[in-house]
Amino acid sequence: MKVTQVKKKQPPKKAKRDPNSEVSIKQVKAKKTKNTKTTDPNESLNMQPVTSPEFDLHDSQWFLNRELTWLAFNRRVLHEAEDDRTPLLERLKFIAIVSGNLDEFFMKRIGGLKQQIGAGMRELTLDGRSARQQVTECYAEVRDIEARKEHSFQEICALLEDKNILIERYDELTPKEMKLLREFYYANIFPLLTPQSIDPAHPFPFISNLSLNLLVSLRYPKSKQNSLVRIKVPVDAGTPRFIRIGKGEHFIRLEEVMMNNLDMLFPGMEVVSCELFRVTRNANTEKDEDEADDLMEMIESELKERKFAPIVRLEIGSGMEPLHRGRLAAELELDEATDVFEVPGLLAMRDLFELTKLDFPRLHDVPHHPIDHPQLQTQRNIFHVIRDAGAILLQHPYESFSTSVERFLREAATDPKVRGIKMTLYRTSRQSRIIDALILAAHNGKQVAVVVELKARFDEATNISLAERMEEAGVHVTYGVVGLKTHCKVIMVVRQDYNGLRRYLHIGTGNYHADTARLYSDIGLLTCDQIIAEDVTELFNFLTTGFMLKRKYSKLALAPRMLKKALLEKIERESNLHISSGGGAIQFKINALEDGDVVRALYRASMAGVKIDLIVRDTCRLRPGIVGLSDNIRVISVVGRFLEHARIYYFHNGGAEEYFIASADAMKRNLEARVEVLCPVEPPELTKELRILFDTHLADQRSAWDMLPDGTYVQRTPAEGNGAGSHRLLIARAEKRVKENMKKKKVKKAGK
């Protein structure tokens, strides 16, 4: 997708044509249909949707493509690397992020599309594209992003060189530096290398996913016959990609050191050429759970299969011999014309994360230290604090994960009045304090039950290891419901209070992962609401048995059974209330808007006159601003220091406002194939905080991008003196709350 960029002090540019769009903006007009027989999914919900005969809401032209809109998000992320307002090492970080994102895109999305092509699937997407058409258009977008990424990288390197931080070329080193590097290489890298011949006597070697490799052409002196050898660059064996030269901040790439010391591996041989390549394998290797006798064994089998999964992309360094390029493509069973990506500069730029850790404060964002939530700045028992407050809203990373969620579990593990702990676990770190607390609780004789999602993509191995560790400690571990991923984030602590058993809860939008809690923007709710607690008890009974029938929920809405229906009903209710009394308003803050039914419901609400604000981080199928269809809808995307990850849903509801937090995005997979939770936030002091969060993002003039009807985005240009983005403003607000709380304490103490 071509993203229009508006840099500082430049007038807005005209948005370019987006490949997502099958029609130009001028062509985006009401498409009249007569006697439409299409069945609306809302009819099964006993609704009477507001619509117009001028628009067929099942017409593909009203939907953008999921893959292309996700690539457009990466263009916005890359813009942070291009923006001179971003500190230099942070700019390098955004290049690494985009590189890692594109790797996963090929592993998951392109891999899945290629499977569809291989299976002969002819089904079109909501936007009317075939799998093959999507791959073709995605490839064009990726090549353009890669070119922009390389240009930005060269620009940043030049600026870093001015700070005496540089990645050197081997031929620029002094003889002394070459000698020291050769000694380092021989002692620390050479023993890790395993050259593998490629000839009739040696089959083509296995190439591991995302590995960087040298393809070396050799021959004996005076011989005219060349031989090929593959050598894996051992970055994933603990060796850094960028090796420091001397005591300063000068580095050289590991592969360059290897390429210039090949005589150690091949003494007496003549090196004809040495070229770089890298492969990406398909990560879609899921099996049918219904046929599995043991889920853990099935996942372990999937991981083994993923290691040997088909290759979906070959990246090569610029200037590779055409013969070598063709041979690699043939051996890897790829189409040389389409599946081979020639990279003009650095391959595997995700490794730049190594350099982003350099200790240069002025080249980084101002350090951010999450504050302790004002109500948790006390040594009192955390359950007493929650009981007195009724509910506490947590905003990560502005507020500390360690002194809130981790503290909640730590105290539960040691509190003699706590009888049991139940928890869902989707992603966490290998060295997790969460796991330590659960194991400690089991050792202390408490009943601990954990629902571990073994199928969390790319965390399967970690979750298997943690599940085994917990089981050995006496934790009751289950793996959720067959056929559904358990994606909700819920903890329930059962405690013997002065008046009987009371259930204390944490419900969140993010994962129980301390590292991402410092980088992702998420919401959590600590509460002892009795009705929500009863619902959560039903949820865990469902998760540990799989029995769904006749379970009743009073406040929570669960996917896959209820959540989508609840969202559609609330959108429709907003339309009807607006028609009768005006003032209709809907606001969503989500990562992705992909579900076709939700998009259609929002279109109908817009046509009824409801004002809709959508803060959507990445994928968005909906086209805003189309006259008569979506001119009441505004879509923005916020891209900045933190990854926006919170899911919040708001409905004006005729003045009886409703706020919800959720683990689910408005995506078909979340709403129909996962266990998710939509939870109301009711206390006025907490809804006030969510209102401030919405308003701060909607008013952002630094990090917000406005979406145009054709799917392109334009970054907002701040007015003079108004350049602070929402992340900076929310950091400042969190710090202000701490100061205000300290003042209140001083006043209270002085009063005594």
Peptide bond into 397 cis (omega under 30): yes
Whether 338 and 429 map to the same domain: the answer is no
pLDDT-based confidence at 491, cuts 50/70/90? very high
Do 608 and 468 lie in one domain? The reply is: no
**Token digits for 49?**
């949707």
Name residues whose C-beta falls within 8 Å of residue 147's C-beta, 6 or more positions apart in sequence: 344
With respect to residue 674, please indicate whether it lies within any of the assigned structural domains: yes
pLDDT value, residue 22: 41
Whole-number pLDDT of residue 289? 60
Q: Give the pLDDT score at 301.
A: 76
Residues 635 and 620: their CA atoms lie apart, in Å, by: 9
DSSP 310: P
pLDDT grade for 45, boundaries at 50, 70 and 90: very low
Same domain as 313, residue 461:
no
pLDDT at 237: 63
Claim to verify: residue 275 and residue 396 sit in the same structural domain = no
- For residue 45, CA distances in Å to 473, 506, 566, 609, 651 come to 47, 31, 10, 22, 19
Q: Establish if 118 belongs to a structural domain.
A: no
Q: Does residue 708 form part of some domain?
A: yes
Mean pLDDT of 285-296: 64
Burial (Cβ within 10 Å: 0-12, 13-18, ≥19) of residue 615: buried
- Is 682 in contact with 656 (CB distance < 8 Å)? no
Q: What angle do CA 582, 588, 593 make, to 5 degrees?
A: 120
Residue 183 has pLDDT above 70, yes or no: yes
* pLDDT at residue 252 tops 90: yes
Tell whether 298 and 272 lie within a shared domain.
Answer: yes
Residue 2's pLDDT band (cuts 50, 70, 90): very low
pLDDT band at 647 (very low <50, low <70, confident <90, very high): very high
Residue 296 binned pLDDT confidence (cut-offs 50, 70, 90): confident
Label residue 151 by pLDDT band (50, 70, 90).
very high
Predicted local distance difference test score (pLDDT) of residue 393: 98
The answer to whether 594 touches 621, Cβ cutoff 8 Å, is yes
Specify the range with the lowest mean pLDDT, choosing from 213-227, 296-310, 507-521, 571-585: 296-310
48: exposed, middle or buried (Cβ count in 10 Å: 0-12, 13-18, 19+) = exposed
Q: What type of residue is 177?
A: E
Q: Is residue 282 part of a domain?
A: yes
pLDDT recorded at residue 728 = 95
Give SS3 for 101. Answer: helix
447 has a pLDDT exceeding 70: yes
Alpha helices by DSSP H, 608-674: 668-673
pLDDT of residue 351: 97
Q: Indicate if 639 and 512 belong to the same structural domain.
A: no
Q: Are residues 222 and 324 in the same domain?
A: yes
pLDDT surpassing 90 at residue 365: yes
Quick one: 528 and 568 in the same domain? Answer: no
In a domain, 390, yes or no: yes
In a domain, 141, yes or no: no
Per-residue pLDDT, 41: 34
Determine the average pLDDT of the residues in 160-181.
95
pLDDT, residue 634, reads 98
Q: What is the pLDDT at residue 222? A: 86
- Please tell me whether residues 568 and 666 are part of one structural domain: yes
Q: Which domain holds residue 507?
A: 374-553
CATH of the domain at 459: 3.30.870.10
Residue that is last in its domain, among 497, 521, 553: 553
pLDDT at 200: 76
pLDDT (0 to 100) of residue 7: 37
Selected residue with higher pLDDT from 513 and 293? 513
At residue 501, the pLDDT reads 97
How far is it, in rounded angstroms, from Cα 570 to Cα 586?
9
Q: Domain total for the chain?
A: 3
- Token pair in block for residue 83: 């923006």
Pair (576, 433) in one structural domain:
no
Q: Is residue 154 part of a domain?
A: no
Q: What is the mean pLDDT of residues 463-476?
A: 94
- Report if residue 712 sits inside a domain: yes
Q: Higher pLDDT residue, 460 or 447?
A: 447
Of the candidates 657, 651, 683, 677, the one whose C-alpha atom is nearest the C-alpha of residue 665 is 677
Say which range, 211-220, 548-557, 589-598, has the weakest mean pLDDT.
548-557
Q: Among 501, 531, 553, give the residue marking a domain's end.
A: 553
Q: What pLDDT is recorded for position 456?
A: 83
Query: What is the rounded distance in angstroms from the CA atom of residue 29 to the CA atom of residue 19?
Result: 18
Q: Is 487 a catalytic residue?
A: yes
602 and 708 in one domain?
yes
Q: Is the pLDDT of residue 25 over 90?
A: no
Residue 586 C-beta-side C-alpha neighbours within 13 Å: 31
Q: At which residue do the structure tokens 């964002």 appear?
A: 365
Q: Determine the average pLDDT of the residues in 532-559.
A: 92
Separation CA 383–CA 380 (nearest Å): 8
Name the pLDDT band for 303 (thresholds 50, 70, 90): confident
Query: Among residues of the chain, what percentage have pLDDT more than 90?
Result: 80
Name the DSSP class of 515: T
Confidence category of residue 308, pLDDT binned at 50, 70, 90: confident
Share of the chain above pLDDT 70, in %: 91
Cis? peptide before 12, omega within 30° of 0: no
Indicate the helix (H) or strand (E) that contains 422: strand 418-425
Indicate if 572 and 543 belong to the same structural domain.
no
pLDDT at 53: 61
Catalytic residue among 373, 487, 578, 697: 487
Domain end point (choices 313, 334, 363): 363
Give the pLDDT confidence score for residue 43 in this predicted structure. Answer: 37
Q: Sorting pLDDT into bands at 50, 70 and 90, what band is 201?
A: confident
Q: What is the pLDDT of residues 666-698, one digit of tens each?
A: 999 999 999 999 999 999 999 999 999 999 999
User: Taking the CA atoms of the chain, what radius of gyration do you get in angstroms?
Assistant: 28
83-106 tens-digit pLDDT? 999 999 999 999 999 999 999 999
